[in-house]
Amino acid sequence: MAMDSKPPSTSPLDFRSLVRFATGRVLVLVVALCVLVQLFRGLWWIINLYLIAPPFDPLRHLPGPDASRLSNHFNEVMDPERTPQTHEDWIKRFGKTFRYHGFGAHDYRLMTFDLRALSYVLNSQTFERPWQTRRLLSQLLGQGVFAMEGEKHRIQRRIMAPAFTSNALKDLAPVMFQKVAEELRDRWLPMVDDGQRSKWDFIIAELQEQQPTKDEAGIECLEKSANKGAIIDITHWVLRATLDVIGLTGFDYAFRALETETEEVYLAYRILFHSVENGPDFKRIAELFFPIIEKLLPDEGLRRRNAALKIIKRKGEEIIKSKKQALLARIATPKDIWDKDILSLLIKANLSEDPSTRLSDSELLDQISTFLFAGSDTTNVAISWALYCLALNPEVQTRLREEFATCHADSSSRTGYVDALDSLPFLDAVVRETLRFAPPAHGTIRVAMKDEVIPLSEPIMLRTNEFAREVHIRKGSYVHIPIEGLNYSKDIWGEDALVFRPDRWFSLSANATHHPGLANVMSFTFGPHACIGWRFSLLEMKVFLAALLPHFVFAPAAEIRKYNTIVTRPYVKDRLGSGSALPLRVSRYNA
């Protein structure tokens, strides 16, 4: 339709039309200008990102693998099936500090295995978690400690620290960890005795028909234990147990996940776990950068996730309310173990009169989500990998079982149970070796908040053929901290770093003894954002192994591969679509 652009004539009535006409024109002009400005900004952003900024990025001088304009190294640095080989190759070719490419040739990212550089980055206020990581986590967990930086983060850590001291954990262990671990054992005993069959029996039979396993150790174990016991999906059961543990120890809340899988908060968490298990697809990644997509194009997965979050929020509010009342009513009584559980500490901070340490109701709720998630998913994976490593190493399994037979807790002492477990050197070695060999978090990222210079312990040769003792990095650049790569570093762990060998913990090299990582490994990182729950996890792993190993023998049932979806999870090879699973053949141990 043709537009009439002739201005109307000027009678009083026409004057109003003229004003309307002019206003309309001005509005169109303003909108067009705004669109133009935005287009120009977008264009400038793209030109700057791809053409102007890269030639001035100081990281371009670093050695490292090259990528073409649109390719990237994400698979090389994030796929745990490839990273050990990639890291080894890159360290050989480029040294301990190099750069790789993120979203294309323009995107230089620093990766370093130099412990001095890492200490600098992880301890410095200049390097924060990138907003993309924080947004991803806050979509699931709200504004908990994971999403915080600066002063607010420091205060939240200080509030929660007393819940994670060795003493506080010693009180919780026998009551909660042990109780749940023994319940898991009691659930498995009849399954194993009756040779109960699950969907994994059929899937594995099908896989073996298609492709018999070639792994000699696997074949040997399979033959020895064939048709004994039951095939149990370890991750499925251990996640139920670890959710029960963190529910009871952290929040005095019984999911009863081991007993029955019907409790609504448990089911809501399963939906959340499921939403991360299969890794983010293209739409989820796009939503991270442009949250408006979520609103414009909601999908079934998003609706399920939001419904689950609503249930968690409602239940969380109920838990907080009843715990607040109980705490206020008990304030006059002598302190008991609940004074130091996570929720009591959070509620005390919520009730605090000091505004600098007070947590708002919504912050309190978000912390609950954070701890339920961080405290169950990671330990589930850690305990599952421990049982997998033992299944592949029957001699280690036997030795550990023999050590448990020598362990007797002093039941008259408050800390007797934990002290007894802590006195078992081989158990400690197996737990640390599992965390080194199969770290639940494959890596982490920091972003420079301003231009910075990172010191190095060893000089590097730049592409300009000059030596450098420091790396210049500009605001907005990413630093990739390769947790698994550092756990496999031959410099620190020796030539057999890629082998699961708990005995290494009895003769550590100087580099490993002085390792800055918590528990001497990189798995919990270090610095102000390091894992607050590291002691909790070590103890939980020990308690579960102590409850299970004296009763069961674990053997491999299928070929397993690692896949990274927030944490490094086990999957059955060629059955990735079935979700994360670790089927092991579990049989009774008869002494």
List binding-site positions for heme: 531
What is the closest distance, in whole angstroms, from the C-beta atom of residue 124 to ligand HEM in the complex?
13
Query: Is the CB of residue 443 less than 8 Å from the CB of residue 73?
Result: no
- Quick one: 148 or 557, whose CB is closer to ligand HEM? 148
Show binding-site residues.
531
Q: DSSP class of residue 350?
A: H
The distance of closest approach from Cβ of residue 82 to ligand HEM in the complex, given in angstroms and rounded to an integer, is 20
- Give the CA distances from residue 576 to residues 123, 241, 278, in Å, rounded to whole numbers and listed in that order: 37, 23, 9
Count CA within 13 A, CB hemisphere, residue 246.
24
Residue 25 Cβ vs ligand HEM, minimum distance, rounded to whole Å:
54
* Least distance between ligand HEM and beta carbon 525 (Å): 4
Taking the complex as a whole, the smallest distance from the CB of residue 58 to ligand HEM amounts, in Å, to 24
Phi and psi at residue 443, to the nearest 5°: -170, 175
Specify the residue, 225 or 444, whose C-beta has the smaller distance to ligand HEM: 444
Question: Closer to ligand HEM at the Cβ: 382 or 392?
Answer: 382
Task: Report how far residue 544's alpha carbon sits from residue 383's, in angstroms, rounded to the nearest whole number.
Answer: 8
How far apart CA 171 and CA 226 sit, in angstroms, is 41
Give the helix/strand (H/E) hosting 541: helix 534-548
Nearest CA-CA partner of 316 in 351, 365, 360: 365
Residue 145: CB minimum distance to ligand HEM, A: 5
Query: Which residue, among 541, 316, 314, has the nearest Cα to 421 in the 3D structure?
Result: 541
Q: Which of 95, 89, 96, 90 is nearest to 113 (CA)?
A: 96
Q: Which residue sits closest to ligand HEM, CB atoms considered? A: 533
Strand pairing class (478-481; 108-112): parallel
- Closer by beta carbon to ligand HEM, 218 or else 482: 482
Taking the CA of residue 510 as centre, how many other CA atoms within 13 Å lie in the half-sphere pointing to its CB? 0
Least separation in angstroms between residue 185's CB and ligand HEM is 20
Structural element, H or E, at residue 99: strand 97-101
Cβ 241 to ligand HEM shortest distance, Å:
13
Three state DSSP letters for 449-479: CCCEEEEEEEEEECCCCCEEEEEEECCCCEE
| Whole-angstrom distance, CA of residue 219 vs CA of residue 213 | 7
Tokens of 443: 């890596």
The alpha carbon of 371 is separated from its chain's Cα centroid by a whole number of angstroms, namely 12
Which of 143, 525 has the CB closer to ligand HEM?
A: 525
Q: What count of residues does the chain have?
A: 591
Under a CB-based contact definition with an 8 Å cutoff, are residues 214 and 161 in contact? no
Nearest to 308 by CA among 124, 141, 170: 141
Between 493 and 526, whose beta carbon lies closer to ligand HEM? Answer: 526
CB of 374 to ligand HEM, least distance (A): 4
Which CB sits closer to ligand HEM, 102 or 527?
A: 527
Determine contact, residues 269/312, Cβ cutoff 8 Å.
yes
Q: Which is nearer to ligand HEM, 57 or 277 (CB)?
A: 277
How far is residue 17 from each of residues 14, 20, 25, measured CA to CA in Å? Answer: 5, 5, 12
Q: Which residues bind ligand HEM (CB under 6 A)?
A: 129, 145-146, 157, 246, 370-371, 374-375, 378-379, 382, 440-441, 444, 523-525, 529-533, 536-537
Instruction: Give the nearer residue to ligand HEM in terms of CB position, either 170 or 529.
Output: 529
Q: Are 570 and 580 in contact (CB under 8 A)?
A: yes
8-state DSSP, 440: S
Q: Cα(first)–Cα(last) distance of the chain, in Å?
A: 91
Cα(193)–Cα(229) distance, rounded to whole angstroms?
6
In whole angstroms, how close is the CB of 178 to ligand HEM at the nearest point?
Answer: 16
The smaller minimum CB distance to ligand HEM, of residues 526 and 571, is found at: 526
